[in-house]
């Protein structure tokens, strides 16, 4: 059941699976994505391994507090961050604040895509809150690694979806480019998930605000080298949104990190790989 926690001036929507008191696993989703980006069944599988699973909507998506204003993306990309609304540090502080609200001192933290950026920032800036770090299909903020392929960049030129049906069809087009070629998703599942997200809160401008937060936060590599937390890095060999070089750089930057590259995995969490994700995450918790 979805609940809301007061975190500073924000409301953060979250949901828990499993038994309170079991080792907590906090799941952080990516740019513009909602808590349902972590599939219900995947969360239930983790809970069945004796973990308390918490998934939540980042600020500016889903049922959490939304912001206003549209940053000048081109100016931010060129180094002028004066229009940025918030940064990854703010989003990491939200995450720490959610743990406070839930009475959880520390958790095993798992982040996917931009969620990996937030998880890394949490480990850097709030190290006592992170028992272990799992960074999935993510990168370091170094613009020389983990960059989108041309096919992925072309998706951004499609414009804003018009309505619920258009959102479903746009998600399908994205999945055909970014999805895992070795583990292709079912069209009806892709559309249903996208339309469920639309129903929970459709805010295209949040993508720009969060994207600018990523750019403005810069390269984490030097600070990642100072981490001492047990770290797992998972990346797909076929990821067209965040090239596998981003995962390799993340693992190289964090002392003792383990890198798992999965052949044929793209920029998604394919159903066929859920048992493997569960085993990798649970074995470290």
Give per-residue pLDDT as tens, 141-150.
Answer: 999 999 999 9
Residue 212 in any domain: the answer is yes
pTM of this structure:
0.97
Q: What is the CATH number of the domain that holds 95?
A: 3.40.50.1820
Give per-residue pLDDT as tens, 44-82.
Answer: 999 999 999 999 999 999 999 999 999 999 999 999 999
* Total number of domains constituting the chain: 1
Residue 236 in any domain: the answer is yes
Tokens of 268: 């998604």
Cα gap 235→101, rounded to integer Å? 31
Beta bridge partners of 261: 235
Residue 153 in any domain: the answer is no
Q: What is the distance between the terminal CA atoms of the chain, rounded to a whole angstrom?
A: 24
pLDDT of residue 103: 98
Residue 21 in any domain: the answer is yes
Cα gap 2→64, rounded to integer Å? 11
pLDDT band at 160 (very low <50, low <70, confident <90, very high): confident
Cα gap 193→37, rounded to integer Å? 8
Looking at residues 256-277, what average pLDDT do you find? 98
Residue 164 in any domain: the answer is no
User: How would you classify the pairing of strands 24-28 and 107-112?
Assistant: parallel
Percentage of the chain beyond pLDDT 90 is 95
Cα gap 16→98, rounded to integer Å? 12
Residue 105 carries which DSSP code? S
Residue 170 in any domain: the answer is no
Tokens of 86: 């918030």
Residue in 66, 85, 88, 51 with CA at minimum distance from that of residue 12? 66
Q: 40-48 and 274-282 are packed helices; what angle lies between their axes, rounded to 10 degrees?
A: 40
- Whole-number average pLDDT of the chain: 96
The domain in which residue 43 lies consists of 3-148+204-282
Would the CA dihedral through 141, 11, 189, 269 be positive or negative? positive
Residue in 111, 138, 114 with CA at minimum distance from that of residue 123? 111
Q: How many residues does the chain have?
A: 285
Contacts of 281 (CB under 8 A, 6+ apart): 25, 46, 51, 108, 110, 134, 232
Residue 197 in any domain: the answer is no
**Phi, psi angles (nearest 5°) of residue 255:** -55, 130
Residue 184 in any domain: the answer is no
For residue 30, the tally of other CB atoms under 10 A from its CB is: 25
Cα gap 247→218, rounded to integer Å? 16
Cα gap 73→229, rounded to integer Å? 34
Tokens of 113: 């895509």
Cα gap 34→11, rounded to integer Å? 14
| pLDDT over threshold 90, residue 278 | yes
């Amino acid at each position: 059941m979805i609940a809301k926690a007061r975190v500073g001036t924000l409301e953060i929507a979250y949901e828990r699976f499993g038994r309170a008191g079991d080792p907590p696993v906090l799941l952080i989703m990516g740019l513009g994505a909602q808590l349902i980006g972590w599939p219900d069944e995947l969360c239930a599988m983790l809970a069945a391994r004796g973990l308390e699973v918490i998934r939540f909507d980042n600020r500016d998506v889903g049922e959490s507090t939304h912001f206003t204003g549209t940053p000048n993306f081109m100016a931010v990309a060129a180094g002028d961050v004066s229009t940025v609304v918030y940064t990854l540090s703010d989003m990491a502080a939200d995450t720490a604040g959610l743990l406070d609200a839930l009475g959880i001192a520390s958790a095993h933290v798992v982040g996917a895509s931009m969620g990996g950026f937030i998880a890394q920032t949490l480990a850097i800036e709030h190290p006592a809150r992170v028992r272990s770090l799992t960074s999935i299909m993510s990168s370091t903020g170094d613009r020389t690694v983990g960059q989108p392929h041309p096919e992925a960049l072309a998706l951004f030129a499609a414009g804003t979806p018009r309505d619920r049906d258009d959102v479903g069809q746009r998600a399908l087009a994205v999945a055909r480019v970014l999805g895992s070629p070795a583990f292709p998703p079912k069209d009806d599942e892709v559309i249903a998930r996208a339309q469920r997200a639309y129903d929970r809160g459709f805010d295209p401008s949040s993508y720009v605000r969060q994207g600018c937060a990523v750019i403005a936060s810069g390269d984490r590599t030097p600070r990642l080298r100072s981490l001492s937390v047990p770290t797992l890095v998972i990346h797909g060999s076929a990821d067209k949104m965040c090239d596998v070089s981003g995962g390799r750089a993340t693992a190289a930057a964090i002392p003792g990190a383990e890198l798992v590259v999965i052949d044929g995995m793209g920029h998604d969490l394919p159903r066929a790989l859920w048992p493997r994700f569960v085993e990798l995450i649970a074995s470290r918790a």
